[in-house]
């Protein structure tokens, strides 16, 4: 059977939105922010980019970005976080953690101070029994580092590498770890080595390697220390296509991903005359999405004695649909009776019997009956009270901690936290809870007249500082009100009969799916790369912008990288500004993502789980690509800036592709979700953009619904060429009496990502890429608005992330443009929007239920629309030829072109290129400030 069970069609309301035919007055959910802009308020309500609110109770201590690891010293006085954000990677030591004035030490002290102190750190931490040292998982360094807890000085490391005739653990990625009660043994997971290691803390030597499952992520000991449990968060073991080597990869790499997810080819593999693509095996293999039990009865003979699948199996029926993604078991804690395991994708906790080593119960995390069907709670870290009576669960997706009765296995309530709680601990007396919030209060602005630039600079990753939250564990009565606060922080719920919605009678966007038929029948969803609102629209008078940041606006001056060429008084993104006048934009829209890696997940309505979030931070913080030189079985899973989703990312209900196919909505894809990393960007790839040499599967629904002529991300390919290809294929498929245009179409136009100067290729300035992108946007809007489908069309344009720019409101504020006869003209919407708003609007228009709590809980974009259409089409305007000459960029695009320029093109989110852009941006601001003065 070529296609797996996912092609089966199930009832429309497979995930009941807050609406159904039996409820004449359904609940309407929107973002609590309303029309508020993002704002950090450490003592009140913080508004974060997805429109939710933060009101973390207790004391909040700011630490470095992304503290995904947390440890408490045995004496209870010191907390340590492992911070996996952008360089420098670090640990934070917080002494006297329970006092009113804790002492905070950053190791290394701050930006530009990493002198080999910590080349890599990833999640795992443990403090010695005498409270003297902290053991730190060294990630890609394949080491466990040792630091003095009192001084913060580095004291040494334990080398976790090992090689014999039959085993090669030269490369490893050390993650979560735990310490034996006597402090003599360290147990840690090697994520890419698919092993658990046992190390001796007296000799600082590696003692034992135990093979476990795919991408081991979490680890814990049973209280009697006779067993250790390992949570495996991976689905597959990926490998290179056989027959491809570093010498022939350019010639033999695949033009298209090798097979579709769930297909027979994916399971069994493919053989050609010259290549063999290894199969990935069954999706419910015991090696993936499972918990391994390792017996320690004889530590020298430690071995796996049980393999437990947790959560829902792939393909299992869950609320009337087959599960697309696996459970993503990630963290564990144990009592004398049970091992508790968080299933990040299923929003539940599996309960494993210590005696039987099998799953005996499941605890469901559903904070409110009105929204219980929407996934996205993302359970992550776990902690037990000292008496083992209460279990605390970090609910990363709703910024809360769940309190569970560990004996009766019942959820008692929820406590508000900071953004994305990751790990947590309970004080020795059981009275206080300590929570590491990976995203803290958010980034805040990263530019503008009121922005105070610190030593960390303006890059979004460096500004996403985490927090450690210390709070009193609430009483039963207090927990009730705190639970209500968690609900109101995440969801604004109102009845459809509310007077508030009376004005929507003639709005083209239904109030909820199925409420009425929309005149919009065709949606074109366009993604671009990495820009903020202020960079492009900061000068728009109707919007809340800061004009001095609009370096891609009007009347700007700039120079090339070498300072040998310049342009003065130029208008850069002229079509964007014309579209803002002719149609509508938002000045209160935010990307949920920090960078491209998570951005491309969000763009297909896939919320990043704990695996994606931790891997993204680690890879942007310095995780290197081992590529051809490593034998580690998991080397190809820890991906950075990829433009695709991987099986480990898949949500339980899948992505928008699965959602559309299940509901029999026609769609077609130009460039989305096919950029797997690692890949090859080399000569001659103008029709693909990238070629593949790893056996990653493509999401099944887009396997035969994706253009083979439209190049995905590749900065050496002009966006003008992409639009040429789009117009050609569109005409062949859906004009001149051919098939009808699909209901939804996705298109990537990525060159506003920017790259270095390439004057010989038609890009003399960084601004040239923006002009290329701008003209491409203008051309595609002009083309579509002159087709017969225009009267019933909506075009939505946004960015995958905003990391390359600056903004005076928030580093996540970005571009959202709506083009349609049904959109208000010359309009700026001030309602708070996020990626979820885009998808919620799509589902309301198409009559589909919501897919997860991020689209269900967002505000739809009805404010943009009018009941009186204006069918005037759009006419693109030319760009300034001093900046970009389209024909010069297109001229080489024939079969004889040698494509040398492509070799110089940066990969997505290349750090050195972003550093260079930051320098250019600073120079632009300085020169313009001097000009104003």
Give the CATH number for residue 585. 3.40.720
**Token pair belonging to 712:** 């995905």
Q: Does residue 67 fall inside a structural domain?
A: no
Q: What is the largest CA-CA distance in the chain?
A: 79
Mean pLDDT of 622-648: 74
Q: Indicate if the pLDDT at residue 317 is higher than 60.
A: yes
Average pLDDT over residues 765-773: 95
Distance CA(831)–CA(51), nearest Å, equals 10
Residue 813 pLDDT exceeds 80? yes
pLDDT tops 90 at residue 552: yes
pLDDT given for residue 685 in this prediction: 80
How large is the average pLDDT for residues 67-79? 97
* Arithmetic mean of pLDDT, 455-468: 91
Q: What's the burial of 542, exposed, middle or buried (CB within 10 Å: 0-12/13-18/19+)?
A: middle
Section 325-354 average pLDDT = 98
Report residue 820 as tokens: 């349609």
**Bridge partners, residue 67, by sequence:** 83
DSSP 8-state class, residue 294: E
In this predicted structure, what is the pLDDT of residue 909?
Answer: 58
Mean pLDDT for the chain overall: 90
Question: pLDDT class for 927, splitting at 50, 70, 90?
Answer: low
- Closest by CA to 637, choosing from 280, 291, 909, is 280
Query: 41 and 33 in contact (C-beta within 8 Å)?
Result: no
pLDDT at 151: 96
Within 10 angstroms of residue 212's Cβ, the number of other Cβ atoms is: 26
Q: What is the DSSP letter of 314?
A: T
The Cα-based distances of 684 to 633, 689, 691, 837 in angstroms read 31, 9, 10, 39
- Distance separating alpha carbons of residues 281 and 889, to the nearest angstrom: 44
pLDDT of 906 higher than 60:
no
Read off the pTM.
Answer: 0.94
Return the structure tokens found at 674.
């096919």
What count of residues does the chain have?
A: 933
Residues 204 and 191: their CA atoms lie apart, in Å, by 21
Q: Is the pLDDT score of 889 beyond 90? A: no
Distance CA 77, CA 721 (A): 61
The secondary structure of 363-429 as a DSSP string is EE--S-GGGTT-----EEEEEE-TTS-EEEEEETTTTEEEEEETTTTEEEEEEE-SEEEEEEEE-TT
Whether 815 is in a domain gets the answer yes
What is the DSSP annotation of 12-68? Answer: TTSS--S-BTTBSS-EEEE-TTTTPPPB--TTSPEEPTTS-EE---SEEEEEEE-EE
| Per-residue pLDDT tens over the stretch 54-69 | 999 999 999 999 999 9
Residue 517, pLDDT above cutoff 60: yes
Beta strand pairing status for 410-416 and 419-426? unpaired
pLDDT tier at 274, thresholds 50, 70, 90: confident
- DSSP 8-state symbol, 476: H
Give the residue carrying structure tokens 């966006």: 719
Reply yes or no on whether the pLDDT at 1 is more than 60. Answer: no
| Domain membership of residue 568 as a residue range | 522-609+649-668+723-927
- Taking alpha carbons only, the member of 735, 651, 737 closest to residue 699 is 651
N-terminal to C-terminal alpha carbon distance within the chain: 70
Rounded-to-integer distance, Cα 275 and Cα 139, Å: 33
Residue 14: its pLDDT value, please? 35
Burial class (CB in 10 A: 0-12, 13-18, 19+), 148: middle
> What dihedral angle (degrees, nearest 10) is formed by the CA atoms of 865, 869, 873, 878?
-30
Q: Which residue is associated with the tokens 């002229």?
A: 574
Torsion-angle region of 254 (φ positive above 0: left; ψ -120 to 50: alpha; else: beta): beta
* pLDDT attached to residue 16: 38
Q: What is the pLDDT of residue 191?
A: 95
pLDDT over 50 (residue 725):
yes
Note whether 325 and 654 are within 8 A (CB): yes
Q: Which of 21-30, 261-270, 396-405 has the lowest mean pLDDT?
A: 21-30
DSSP element (H, E) containing 922: helix 911-932
Residue corresponding to tokens 């085993």? 167
Task: State whether residue 156 is helix, strand or coil.
Answer: strand
**Residues 358, 261: Cα–Cα separation, whole Å:** 29
Burial class, 519, CB count within 10 angstroms (exposed 0-12 / middle 13-18 / buried 19+):
middle
pLDDT recorded at residue 687: 81
How far is the C-alpha of 919 from the C-alpha of 926, rounded, in Å?
11
Residue 345 pLDDT: 96
17 pLDDT above the threshold of 80: no
Q: Is the pLDDT of residue 482 over 70?
A: yes
The dihedral over CA atoms of 884, 886, 889, 890, expressed in degrees to the nearest 10, equals: 180
Contacts of 344 (CB under 8 A, 6+ apart): 233, 327, 328, 329, 330, 378, 379, 380, 396, 609, 610, 611
**Full DSSP string of 838-872:** HHHHHHHHHTPPP-SHHHHTSPPSGGGB-SS---P
Residue 3: its pLDDT value, please?
37
Average pLDDT over residues 4-18: 36
pLDDT for res 447: 95
pLDDT at position 816: 98
**Residue 84: pLDDT band by 50, 70, 90 thresholds?**
confident
Backbone angles phi, psi at 301, to 5 degrees: -115, 30
Would residue 161 count as lying in a domain?
no
Is residue 31 situated within a structural domain?
Answer: no
Beta strand 744-748 pairing with 667-670: parallel
pLDDT score of 506 more than 70: yes
Residue 394 lies in a domain: no
Using 50, 70 and 90 to split pLDDT, how confident is the model at 736? Answer: confident
- Looking from the CA of 562 toward its CB, the CA atoms found within 13 Å total 6
Residue 735 has what DSSP assignment? Answer: S
Residue 755 to residue 758: CA distance in whole angstroms: 9
Phi then psi for 485, rounded to 5 degrees? -65, -40
Phi, psi of 234 (to 5 degrees): -95, 165
H-type alpha helices, 711-765: 719-734
R_g of the chain computed on alpha carbons: 27
* Assigned domain for 809 exists: yes
Is the pLDDT at 421 greater than 90? The verdict is: yes
The answer to whether position 674 is within a domain reads: no
Structure tokens at 907: 């990969």
Reported as a pLDDT band with limits 50, 70 and 90, residue 822 is very high
Is residue 324, in this structure, part of any structural domain at all? no
The number of distinct structural domains making up the chain is 1
């Amino acid at each position: 059977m070529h296609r797996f069970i996912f092609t089966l069609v199930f009832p429309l309301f497979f995930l009941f939105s807050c609406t159904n035919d039996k409820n004449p007055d359904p609940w309407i959910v929107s973002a609590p922010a309303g029309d508020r802009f993002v704002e950090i308020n450490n003592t009140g309500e913080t508004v974060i980019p997805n429109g939710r609110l933060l009101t973390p109770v207790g004391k909040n201590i700011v630490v470095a970005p992304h503290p995904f690891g947390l440890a408490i010293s045995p004496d209870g006085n010191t907390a340590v976080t492992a911070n996996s954000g952008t360089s420098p990677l670090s640990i934070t030591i917080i002494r006297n953690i329970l006092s009113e004035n804790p002492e905070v030490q950053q190791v290394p002290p701050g930006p530009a101070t990493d002198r080999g102190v910590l080349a890599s750190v990833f999640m795992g931490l443990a403090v010695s029994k005498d409270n003297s040292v902290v053991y730190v998982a060294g990630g890609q360094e394949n080491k466990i580092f040792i630091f003095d807890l009192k001084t913060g000085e580095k004291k040494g490391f334990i080398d976790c590498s090992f090689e014999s005739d039959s085993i090669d653990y030269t490369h490893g990625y050390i993650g979560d770890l735990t310490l034996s009660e006597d402090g003599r043994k360290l147990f840690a997971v090697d994520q890419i080595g698919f092993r658990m290691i046992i190390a001796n803390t007296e000799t600082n030597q590696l003692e034992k390697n135990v093979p476990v499952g795919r991408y081991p992520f979490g680890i814990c000991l049973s209280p009697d220390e006779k067993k250790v449990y390992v949570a495996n968060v991976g689905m597959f073991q990926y490998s290179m296509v056989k027959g491809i080597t570093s010498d022939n990869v350019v010639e033999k790499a695949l033009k298209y991903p090798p097979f579709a997810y769930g297909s027979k080819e994916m399971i069994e593999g493919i053989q050609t005359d010259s290549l063999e693509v290894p199969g990935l095996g069954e999706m419910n293999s015991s090696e993936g999405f499972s918990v391994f039990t390792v017996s320690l009865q004889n530590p020298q003979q430690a071995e796996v004695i049980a393999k437990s699948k947790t959560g829902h199996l792939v393909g299992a029926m869950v609320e009337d649909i087959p599960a697309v993604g696996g459970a993503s078991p990630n963290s564990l804690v144990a009592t004398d009776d049970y091992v508790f395991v968080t299933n990040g994708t299923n929003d539940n906790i599996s309960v494993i019997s210590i005696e039987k080593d099998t799953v005996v119960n499941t605890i469901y995390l559903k904070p409110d009956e009105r929204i219980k069907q929407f996934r996205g709670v993302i359970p992550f870290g776990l902690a037990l009270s000292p008496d083992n009576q209460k279990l605390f669960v970090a609910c990363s997706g709703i910024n809360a901690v769940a309190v569970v009765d560990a004996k009766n296995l019942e959820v008692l309530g929820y406590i508000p936290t900071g953004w994305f709680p990751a790990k947590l601990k309970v004080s020795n007396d059981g009275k206080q809870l300590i929570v590491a919030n990976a995203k803290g209060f958010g980034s805040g602005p990263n530019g503008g007249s009121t922005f105070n630039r610190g030593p960390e600079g303006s890059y979004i990753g460096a500004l996403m500082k985490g927090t450690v939250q210390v709070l009193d564990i609430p009483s039963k009565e207090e927990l009730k009100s705190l639970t209500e606060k968690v609900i109101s922080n995440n969801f604004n719920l109102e009845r459809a009969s509310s007077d508030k919605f009376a004005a929507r009678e003639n709005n083209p966007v239904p109030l909820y799916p199925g409420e009425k038929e929309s005149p919009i029948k065709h949606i074109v969803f366009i993604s671009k790369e990495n820009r903020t609102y202020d960079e492009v629209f900061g000068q728009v008078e109707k919007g809340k912008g800061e004009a001095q940041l609009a370096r891609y606006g009007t009347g700007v001056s700039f120079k090339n990288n070498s300072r040998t060429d310049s342009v003065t008084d130029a208008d850069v993104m002229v079509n964007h500004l014309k579209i803002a006048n002719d149609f509508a934009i938002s000045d209160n829209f935010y990307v949920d993502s920090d960078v491209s890696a998570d951005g491309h997940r969000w763009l297909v309505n896939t919320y990043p789980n704990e695996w994606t979030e931790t891997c993204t931070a680690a890879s942007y913080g310095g995780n290197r690509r081992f590529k051809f030189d490593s034998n580690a079985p998991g080397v190809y899973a820890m991906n950075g800036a990829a433009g695709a989703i991987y099986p480990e990312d898949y949500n339980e209900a899948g992505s928008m592709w699965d959602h559309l196919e299940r509901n029999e909505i026609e769609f077609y894809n130009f460039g989305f979700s096919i950029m797997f990393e690692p890949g090859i960007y080399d000569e001659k790839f103008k029709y693909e953009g990238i070629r593949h040499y790893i056996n990653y599967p493509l999401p099944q629904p887009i396997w035969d619904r994706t253009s083979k002529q439209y190049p995905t991300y590749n900065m050496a390919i002009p966006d003008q060429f992409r639009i040429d290809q789009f117009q050609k294929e569109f005409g062949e498929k859906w004009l001149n009496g051919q098939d009808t245009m699909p209901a939804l179409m996705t298109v990537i136009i990525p060159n506003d990502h920017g790259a270095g100067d390439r004057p010989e290729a038609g890009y003399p300035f960084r601004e040239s890429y923006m002009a290329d992108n701008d003209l491409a946007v203008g051309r595609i809007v002009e083309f579509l608005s002159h087709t017969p489908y225009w009267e019933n069309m909506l075009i939505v344009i946004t960015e995958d992330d905003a990391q390359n720019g600056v903004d005076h409101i928030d580093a996540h504020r970005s571009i959202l443009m709506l083009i349609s006869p049904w959109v208000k003209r010359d309009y700026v919407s001030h309602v708070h929007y996020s990626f979820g708003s885009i998808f919620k609007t799509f589902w309301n228009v198409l009559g589909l239920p919501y897919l997860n709590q991020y689209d269900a809980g967002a505000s739809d974009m009805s404010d943009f629309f009018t009941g009186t259409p204006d069918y005037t089409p759009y006419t693109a305007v030319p760009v300034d030829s001093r900046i970009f000459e389209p024909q010069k960029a297109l001229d080489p695009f024939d079969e004889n072109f040698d494509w040398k320029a492509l070799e110089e093109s940066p990969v997505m989110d290349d750090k050195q290129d972003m550093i260079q852009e930051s320098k250019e941006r600073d120079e632009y601001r300085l020169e313009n400030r001097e000009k104003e003065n």
